[in-house]
Amino acid sequence: MRNGQILRGEVIQQTATSMQIKMEDGKIKQLNKKEIQRVSYKEPTIQEKKESEEKLKQQTAVIEEPPPAPEPSKKSEPELDKAASPYSIDQAKRKDIELFFGAGLGTYRPPTESFLNEASVKANALTGQIPPDHDTPSYKRGLAYSMGAIYYWKKFAFGLSGNHFSGQTSERLKVYSNNANLQEIAGTFPEKQSSLKADISFLAYTNHRIDLRPSFGYSQFWGKTDDNNTISTNYSGNELTSFFKYHYYFLEKLKGPSIGLKTTIRQGERWEHRVELHYLVLSGAQYGNGSLTMLNTPNFFDYGIIQDSIQWDAKGFNFSYKLLYKWTPTLSFWVGIQAFEWKYSLKSFDQSFNGLANIGNPSPVEELVLINLLLTSTAKMTPATSKASSLEFGVMKRFEFSQ
């Protein structure tokens, strides 16, 4: 051998690069031909044995220095073994669909009757009358639910979702006059909002812990208020002088695009946080129809029709958070919160009233024009905000498609 060692054995097989020999003790040894200096089929001479022993002594006398210790490297964060965990998904290659549903309690706070009451307060102040006393509305929670589907195709995701909020609003308005008369308007009525949204998002960044998806969507909102409970009572001193019964119906329709970001944060293999924030740009109208039945003691009766039409734009946000627990690789349970809020910008306002009392004695045209101008100007100075929120518990099911 090239290291001076002499091996004795029987050559049993060889190739261009290797050789197998059967040693004297019966063991088979595999040799690389690059390590062999010479193959001899006869016994080595005394001189060859002596040279071999000296060469081996020289090699054993060399002191080998230990190799330098490797520099300590920074401990890298262990990555999730996607192949080993059934709960892991390759986000960039997934092809599946998620269906979800949730229900809980929520509130809906639109600017329906409260907006008109606030405008009335400002109008009275501008005309020198005693400003009405408008209490801050109180709200009671109602049923809220959401549902939707998200289809994932590689780095793209296509979503369709709907939300519903409901609640009860209580309002009270006191109107004072210079002759010591008092009119109190109060009522409690249900309010509801439904929405439908379609969006598309793209997986811009992902690792074993976090996903970032910019999103673009388009939404439609329907708001409804059906007030059949508000009444108005007029007093002169301690005496009831008139009684009003209102029936209001408001319908609001808004639609427009949204842009936002969807974030998924994985905690372990079963917990997942999903956070969404979207900026909304909406446009639409609110339409109101109402009837008023009035009875003045002792024998005066009147019935009137009230109509409102408001055109406005709105800008705001939608925030959503879900905490998911993966019960199985395809079935999850979640708890989450949802919030919508936007502020309105008034474009136009129109209101009219027609009653039995003014059929034979209609108001002058110029008076109606001035009243509408006053209402429009005060309405534009009146802030309006819509809010909806909920706390929900739900379930999510994932269906996988073949790759």
pLDDT digits (tens, 9 = 90+) for 23-37: 878 888 888 888 888
Query: Would you place residue 361 in the very low, low, confident or very high pLDDT band (cuts 50, 70, 90)?
Result: low
The pLDDT value recorded for residue 147 is 97
| Nearest CA-CA partner of 311 in 253, 367, 371 | 253
Cβ atoms of 285 and 311 closer than 8 Å: yes
Query: Would you place residue 355 in the very low, low, confident or very high pLDDT band (cuts 50, 70, 90)?
Result: low
**pLDDT(380) > 70:** yes
**pLDDT(250) > 60:** yes
Cβ atoms of 124 and 132 closer than 8 Å: yes
**pLDDT(338) > 90:** yes
The pLDDT value recorded for residue 63 is 46
The pLDDT value recorded for residue 44 is 76
Report the C-alpha dihedral over residues 68, 69, 72, 77, rounded to 10 degrees: 110
pLDDT digits (tens, 9 = 90+) for 65-121: 556 666 665 555 444 454 457 888 888 999 999 999 999 999 999 988 888 777 777
Of the chain, the percentage scoring pLDDT greater than 90 comes to 43
The pLDDT value recorded for residue 37 is 85
> 367 has which bridge partners?
none
**pLDDT(216) > 90:** yes
| Nearest CA-CA partner of 346 in 311, 308, 318, 394 | 311
- How far, in Å, CA of 21 to CA of 9, rounded? 6
CA distance to 195, 234, 257, per residue, from 315 (Å): 16, 39, 10
pLDDT digits (tens, 9 = 90+) for 151-187: 999 999 999 999 999 999 998 888 877 677 788 889 8
CATH number, span 9-60: 2.30.30
Secondary structure class of 353 (helix, strand, coil): strand
CATH number, span 95-400: 2.40.128.90
Q: Which residue has the higher pLDDT, 217 or 184?
A: 217
- How far, in Å, CA of 228 to CA of 289, rounded? 12
Query: Would you place residue 11 in the very low, low, confident or very high pLDDT band (cuts 50, 70, 90)?
Result: confident
CA distance to 100, 113, 229, 235, 303, per residue, from 185 (Å): 43, 11, 11, 12, 17
Q: Which residue has the higher pLDDT, 144 or 307?
A: 144
Rounded to two decimals, what is the model's pTM? Answer: 0.72
Q: Which residue has the higher pLDDT, 2 or 103?
A: 103
**pLDDT(360) > 70:** no
Mean pLDDT of 352-364: 63
The pLDDT value recorded for residue 313 is 94
The pLDDT value recorded for residue 62 is 47
Query: Would you place residue 356 in the very low, low, confident or very high pLDDT band (cuts 50, 70, 90)?
Result: low
The pLDDT value recorded for residue 221 is 97
**pLDDT(293) > 90:** no
Cis bond before residue 298 (omega within 30° of 0): yes
HEC per residue, 274-342: EEEEEEEEEEEEEEEEEEEEEEECCCEEEEEEEEEEEEEEEEEEEEEEEEEEECCCCEEEEEEEEEEEE
Mean confidence (pLDDT) of the chain: 84
The pLDDT value recorded for residue 280 is 97
Cβ atoms of 134 and 115 closer than 8 Å: no
Q: Domain residues of the chain, as ranges?
A: 9-60, 95-400
Q: Which of 33-37, 60-64, 121-125, 250-254 has the highest mean pLDDT?
A: 250-254
Of the chain, the percentage scoring pLDDT greater than 70 comes to 85
